[in-house]
Structure 1
Amino acid sequence: MSGGARSNSRGGGAEGVSPARRVAFEVLEAVRTDEAYANLLLPTRISRAGLNRADAAFATELTYGTLRMLGFYDLVLELAADRPTSSIDPAVLDVLRLGVHQLLATRVPTHAAVFEQVALARKVAPKAAGFANAVLRTVSRTSADSWRELVGAGAKDRDDRLARLSSHPAWIVRAFRAALAREGRESELEALLEADNDSPRVNLAVLPGFDDADAETVGGVTLEPDRYSPIGAVTDDPIGVARSSGGRIRVQDEGSQLAALALTRATPIAPGERWLDLCAGPGGKTAVLAAEALGGGAGVVANEAVQARADLVRNAVAGVPIEVDVRVGDGRELDLTALGAPDGFDRILLDAPCTGLGALRRRPEARWRKSPADVAELTKLQGDLFDAAVGALAPGGILAYVTCSPHTAETHGTFGAALARWGDRVEQLDTRAVVVALSRHPLDLDGDPRTVQLWPHRHGTDAMFIALVRRTGADSPVADATVADR
């Protein structure tokens, strides 16, 4: 934690609880009760509370650090309280989790962490203040390394031990092991789990197609080129740069940039091409498509099934000087004439709904919301959307199948099954060659030589899977491999 953030531990504010701690608690509570996303809610709560930069940094560390290590902290609390966490009032449990994070993972003085979390417990559940004080003092009397030994000692097997210590559900640990083993790099598992618990550097996408798209400074702030994405950049004040850019620069993971660019730069753009972003929300990749279309003379349609997410798409593309036709509808039921492409689309991005296991660095709560049962439901949806997308391609059109998950069922499983269904009506393209060609520096890739799997620990990106196919022949763009045939 930075020295500025440590200053929060000294002053209590109203009712003995610092504003940063109150904000962190409110976000954890919303994540638990309303299934809120911390990355969306936290900035709003920070702004509403009027936190200065140091307090905002402390609130961010508390929120994300606690959510990432929540599973490990719950095991510590069960040992310290000598009872299952399920028997603890949920609000009090959130207070205790925040306290454990301060005691075991930050330089906040013990007395400050205990005092303020007990004050917070007294506010949310007055009768639990004594219990909170006793539990946190018990935690504070044992070092972080000793707690790791105690938690690890209860493991049933090697994956359970890794799950406990890295704060990942065991089924995710096994899924990651299988995905890495497919590349012959199972030995990287611990590095991957550690990367999921690190704070990722904020990346920017400098959208192409603008007059000053190649500018190295924005508002006097110098931009440093990203390692891989040709439109990516980093800087010390990414949020400020994005806000002052008028929509030309936006926060976006480098892996997401590469996924969108793989589609737009797979072949030269012909003026008049029609593109479709099939599952567009929240619109980050749509904005990249729109900027690329602006430079190449293509038109873009963005489809999103949920109205609220469609509104996010409209906001995302508002700063790009090209009209994007944003539609709301089920991506499995496309009306090509109504979408303005009766002969099919020339390029389609299918950023498929998935478990999101590739973005646990940025959305740590996702690891606690998903289960193995979700994978079967999602792969069925992914397959249906793939069929709809191929059916909507014009002859010779290109589809990019993308997931923000390395789970083999969602990547090679869904993609391989789709290739088998469509047979010689689709042609798999050399996705790796496309991505390597557009990357600024060499990419350390392994596994299937015609697809791309990015990794947080290896590339510093989300674990994006990217695969390109082309529609062959001159047959009708109406899908001839229906769901009923599957």
Structure 2
Amino acid sequence: MSQQPPRRHGTRKPYRRPQKDPVRILAFEALRAVDERDAYANLVLPPLLRKAREGGDFDSRDAALATELVYGTLRRQGTYDAIVARCVDRPLREVDPPVLDVLTLGAHQLLGTRIPTHAAVSASVELARVVLGDGRAKFVNAVLRKVAAHDMDSWLEQVAPDYDEDPEEHLGIVHAHPRWIVSALWDALGGGRAGIEDLLDADNERPEVTLVARPGRATTEELLAAVGEESALPGRWSPYAVRLAEGGEPGALDPVREGRAGVQDEGSQLVALALANAPVEGSDLAWLDGCAGPGGKAALLGALAAQRGAALVASEKQPHRARLVARALAGNPGPYQVIAADGTRPAWRPGAFDRVLVDVPCTGLGALRRRPEARWRRRPEDLDGFAPLQRELLRQALAAVRVGGVVGYATCSPHPAETRAVVDDVLKGRGGPAVEVEWIDARPLMPGVPALGDGPDVQLWPHLHGTDAMYLALLRRTG
């Protein structure tokens, strides 16, 4: 769906000079980058905001509004598309993508914020004049006036089917998730309507920024003091977590800038801690992070290993991501090694490690609140693409650990096809040799965390735990 923005209509002079709005222009540029380059907003937006601040165009309120416009538009894109489709005289696929970006940006201001109607419409029309030209601005004006005729609840009654007729489609439009993702999450969660609606709502909430104090290098007390008592809270579950109550800029904090602390979701911290604290039989001196990029879990594991006199090998297939891992581990007091290696073709001898973490590539359905565009970008067939890789990475992780050692299989997805199904297939020898292991109950290794299910594996949830939807299975090699 990558297209160049259409040429501006410059043959006729507009009746007045368009007024540039740096906040909305920046939001439009971010949406265009997400659409044209398949970029992620969390990577595109920060440098745009930084450049705007350095140019003197932005203050903190401008940055907050631009962030809300970008993330809010992306989260609700499917819902806004359904509404805009009712207001145009052609199939939505025939509307130029840049025009559609302006329309959905305007729809979000009208239906998803407290911006007054007249201000939302006029600002969107001015944006269209600047970035698209006067002709398309008139089209934007006509469409958004139709959108403004109803509030969100009224529109949802029109565009969403009745729940009793088609519950997945109803929930998908009301809560802005593709139908197939609603179905998959519902299967993974189980239970009735209330649970799935709570989960979908949580996916649409802006997540807290969570820091990790790397053991032996920084303390939570130090982080709390650096952030300020009024702006920080202790983690809910991890003893190393600090939550930023009002967002803020983590990179400006000395412990983060110096690499003694980092930004890391509390779910990721819990996964690393559970692996590090799982009982092993015999020696405990060699640890492996087999899919280490971009380095958050590796940095926490490396700090924990250093405290115990263990060495960490952090392996990452992509060289540029391996460099990120090296940066995250820089300054770690204990022995470690970062290598660029393919975990399906290991660069180490079998049975070389006492603990192995393999946080496999996946659809990322557990982090939709952080990467809202991913829900519209992913397709059901992506599961088939990841499946062979996930299974082979787990097989090689089990081969890398010695008898009596422990493997942690983790993924940031709650989809059954990426969690328990992968582990079951590998343990039963489907597609490869069967492996002799025993399950370790991961629930006691996350002390104080409620609603962890029946075990022995663990699925974390945004609506229950305030974390990404991380999955963890712990396996001890027995033969």
TM-score, normalised to structure 2, is: 0.89
SS in 2 for 1:210: coil
Letter in 1 for 2:415: H
The answer as to 2:371 corresponding to 1:363 is: yes
SS in 2 for 1:218: helix
The answer as to 2:452 corresponding to 1:445 is: yes
Instruction: Quote how far apart the aligned CAs of 1:365 are.
Output: 0.7
Distance change (3 Å), C-alpha of 1:305 and 1:220: closer
- Aligned match of 1:294: 306
Q: Measure the CA separation in 2 of the matches of 1:352 and 1:259.
A: 13
- Aligned match of 1:49: 52
- Aligned match of 1:408: 416
Q: Measure the CA separation in 2 of the matches of 1:316 and 1:15.
A: 46
Distance change (3 Å), C-alpha of 1:146 and 1:326: same
Q: Measure the CA separation in 1 of the matches of 2:286 and 2:358.
A: 15
The answer as to 2:445 corresponding to 1:434 is: yes
Counterpart contact for 1:272–1:299, Cα < 8 Å: no
Query: Structure 2 residue aligned with 1:162, among 171, 177, 182?
Result: 171
Instruction: Please report the RMSD computed on the Cα atoms of aligned residues, expressed in angstroms.
Output: 2.1
Letter in 1 for 2:92: T
Q: Measure the CA separation in 2 of the matches of 1:271 and 1:435.
A: 23
Query: Structure 2 residue aligned with 1:377, among 380, 385, 388?
Result: 385
Query: Structure 1 residue aligned with 2:200, among 186, 193, 201?
Result: 193
Instruction: Quote how far apart the aligned CAs of 1:203 are.
Output: 1.3
Counterpart contact for 1:357–1:404, Cα < 8 Å: yes
Instruction: Quote how far apart the aligned CAs of 1:269 are.
Output: 11
Counterpart contact for 1:269–1:298, Cα < 8 Å: no
Distance change (3 Å), C-alpha of 1:233 and 1:78: same
SS in 2 for 1:355: coil
* Structural mapping, 1:210-225, within 5 Å: 210=217, 212=219, 214-215=221-222, 217-219=224-226, 221-222=228-229, 223-225=232-234
Q: Measure the CA separation in 1 of the matches of 2:204 and 2:281.
A: 39
TM-score, normalised to structure 1, is: 0.87
The answer as to 2:148 corresponding to 1:135 is: no
SS in 1 for 2:406: strand
- Aligned match of 1:204: 211
Counterpart contact for 1:207–1:248, Cα < 8 Å: yes
Letter in 1 for 2:290: L
SS in 2 for 1:219: helix
- Aligned match of 1:262: 274
Instruction: Quote how far apart the aligned CAs of 1:239 are.
Output: 4.3
Q: Measure the CA separation in 1 of the matches of 2:337 and 2:180.
A: 40
The answer as to 2:475 corresponding to 1:472 is: no
Q: Measure the CA separation in 2 of the matches of 1:395 and 1:269.
A: 8
C-alpha offsets along residues 62-121 of structure 1, whole Å, 9 cap, x if unaligned? 011000000000000000113322111101100111100000011112222212211222
The answer as to 2:183 corresponding to 1:174 is: yes
C-alpha offsets along residues 238-262 of structure 1, whole Å, 9 cap, x if unaligned? 5445532122222211111101111
Counterpart contact for 1:270–1:298, Cα < 8 Å: no
Gapped regions of structure 1 (runs ≥ 5): 1-13, 474-486
Instruction: Quote how far apart the aligned CAs of 1:215 are.
Output: 3.4
Letter in 2 for 1:400: G
Gapped regions of structure 2 (runs ≥ 5): 1-16
Counterpart contact for 1:178–1:186, Cα < 8 Å: no
- Aligned match of 2:11: none
Q: Measure the CA separation in 2 of the matches of 1:111 and 1:263.
A: 55
Q: Measure the CA separation in 2 of the matches of 1:367 and 1:288.
A: 29
> Which 10-residue stretch deviates more, 163-172 or 316-325?
316-325
C-alpha offsets along residues 377-412 of structure 1, whole Å, 9 cap, x if unaligned? 212210011111111112222110001111011111
- Aligned match of 1:351: 359
Q: How many aligned residue pairs are there?
A: 449
Q: Measure the CA separation in 2 of the matches of 1:237 and 1:289.
A: 28
C-alpha offsets along residues 188-209 of structure 1, whole Å, 9 cap, x if unaligned? 0111111111111111111112
SS in 1 for 2:395: helix
